[in-house]
Structure 1
């Protein structure tokens, strides 16, 4: 077994040194079984995404990017379900888009929600009624497709959104809850209950799980990983590594790997 298979920062879970701190895995599973959105917050490299990977199989994962409008979340999510939405024009009073299945899976999902083919729609006045269920701005249609897929929508790096887009998506979360689509939102923020600040109507509809590490759980990372490698960290080295990690599991993982590299 190589040291970098046990320790280090990785987009995938390091099973040989992964630690369930404070039974958080069970808490996350319990929250995922309820009719609520789940917001996971914590510092960078604190293990938020690893936690999600451990407890949630085959989600629709959308990665936020700087200057990416929140409406692109739905475009990305449907793309992962083999459904293409191309927005041709979107401005006040006018919306044109085409929607099509990219494969048999996408066609089957569209059939489940009672829609096949493509669409083109133009609204010339704000007062004109929408053609319900046939454009990317119709959250019920998007929600129906996600529900039909049987997969959970996960939004990673929520903090990369602009403040305006975060607020806009927070209001969409209320509508998605009404449509029985329950989302996992993961990001870095310090405010408690950020989503409630953005949209008070989410009260009772979202729970927030903070990712915090205590010293004993950080020690367990080194003990578990060391056991896999058939080594034992000296007590002074172990204490120093935990001190230098500043209660951050990712930083501890990186420090452990560097220490083993230096030790040869």
Structure 2
């Protein structure tokens, strides 16, 4: 019988890191094969969409092994795009005049990328031929190198993560640049959130027919349960009938990152105390109190965002109006939004009408849902697009109508909350599953817990 590999628990359940032992490709969705097929054929811009923390970036990292990776928050102009590509490709921006020198330049650059020309018949690196150099536009240099890689049969994909972080003008210019590259069979992959589905093509009149979308859906319960099952097996643990894994999956808000966190916490729980792979097959135990267990899991960042969204901006002038609940609590409009979302799950996406319908039954007789609920949602979206360290401006109630998210957005931030007012059904997105979890299990810290 082969010896069991002893692994520390933190190598098995890896919140916030790329999973190896507990990696689940969700084979039934064929995500890896679809992306692999695209990379082989190219000719289109691939947009990968889905909620945050569902494995979009991990998918691309595992499949697109030859790639240049850019972050949307890095790219502030089209010149920045070309400059960062050139730097990643190690491209010198000069080229010799003679054909021989052009070839030497070409193979030197490709050599830096791991491509090597077979024997060229002579030592070109010692060529003393008189030549001169000229500065090349970066877009031409980058395009040439990417095209050469295609010709060699091993193209390098351009990947832009968090594509939505770029401003509208830059996004349009970058898509136009990518359009020219994909026509030369250079793969281009844009990673963004599901409600930014059309952002790649927006503003580019003739991009139609050159875009392809690969949705990465939120995780189903059985997919999340697989994480627990694989991890328990690696630790030589067994979960009778999968009951514990199923319970953890139900509280993971369709996020593998949160599932990893809960599995690790379960191993650390006093009911188990698992630090590494067990010598003999060992049963994993339930916590003594499931509610206490879930409340014991806190994400500091999510807790801070919950408090900030519930508090809203500082008030200038007249105090906010409050509505009284049947349990005696008095909540303002911001708290009403979060309580309504809590009553409904919380879910990844919620319609405004659904939100107000959930609030009405718990309001005291004669009370109504805040009539300025849309203004509150706009302001919460603006708040989520700023830094936690940034002091918010004080507002009057009337000022809340004037929220301008684009003005306040910080490109390096991933908003945890967004309100899409322009969709067919006005929709609220809890973008970060850790915020949903904090709302569900720590709502009392912001006064938005479910009624008893």
Normalising by the smaller structure, the TM-score range is: 0.7 to 0.9
CA positional deviation for 1:189: 4.1
- Which has more radius of gyration? 2
Give the equivalent residue in structure 2 for 1:135: 137
* 2:223 paired with 1:217: yes
Question: What does 1:96-245 align with in structure 2 at a 5 Å threshold?
Answer: 105-106=108-109, 119-120=134-135, 134-136=136-138, 139-149=139-149, 150-212=155-217, 213-233=219-239, 235-245=242-252
Query: Please, which of 28, 36, 47 is the counterpart of residue 35 of structure 2?
Result: 28
Aligned equivalents of 2:25 and 2:13: distance in 1?
16
Deviation string 1:193-243 (CA, Å, 9 cap, x unpaired) is 432334352222121111112222122122122212222346443223212
Query: Counterparts of 1:209 and 1:49 in 2: how far apart (Å)?
Result: 13
| Alignment gaps of 5+ in structure 1 | 86-100, 121-133
Q: Answer yes or no: is the 8 Å Cα contact 1:42–1:188 preserved in 2.
A: yes
Pairwise CA distance, 1:247: 0.9
Gaps of 5+ in 2: 1-6, 94-103, 118-130, 150-154, 274-452
Aligned pair in 2 of structure 1 residues 200, 9: CA closer, same or farther (>3 Å)?
Answer: farther
* DSSP 3-state at the match of 2:185: coil
| CA gap 1:142/1:44 in 2 versus in 1, 3 angstroms | same
Q: Secondary structure at the match of 2:187?
A: coil
Give the drift of 1:41: 1.5
Structure-2-length-normalised TM-score: 0.46
Query: In structure 1, how many angstroms separate the alpha carbons of the residues matched to 2:108 and 2:146?
Result: 13
Whole-angstrom CA distance in 2 between matches of 1:10 and 1:23: 24
Choose from 228, 232, 255 the match for 2:262. 255
Post-superposition CA distance 1:84-136 (Å, at most 9, x none): 56xxxxxxxxxxxxxxx99x843868xx9xxx97545xxxxxxxxxxxxx212
Bigger relative contact order (CA 8 A; separation at least 6): 1
Question: TM-score, structure 1 length as denominator?
Answer: 0.74
- Offset from partner CA, 1:49-71 (integer Å, 9 cap, x none): 11112212131112232673343
* Correspondence 1:52 to 2:60: yes
The answer as to whether partners of 1:67 and 1:162 remain within 8 angstroms in 2 is: no
Distance 1:34 1:169, change over 3 A: same
Measured against aligned partners, the alpha-carbon deviations of 1:25-61 in whole angstroms (never above 9, x if no partner) come to 1121122222222111222211011111221213111
Structure 2 distance, partners of 1:61, 1:162, is 19
Cα distance in 1 for residues equivalent to 2:156 and 2:239: 41
Equivalents in 2 of 1:140, 1:84: separation in Å? 12
CA distance in 2, matches of 1:200, 1:239: 48
Structure 1 pair 6/147, CA: closer, same or farther in 2 (3 Å)?
farther
Contact preservation (8 Å) 2:24, 2:223: yes
**What is the SS of the residue equivalent to 1:14?**
coil
Cα separation, 2, equivalents of 1:108 and 1:24:
32
Q: CA contact under 8 A between 2:71 and 2:161: conserved in structure 1?
A: yes
Q: Counterpart of 1:129?
A: none
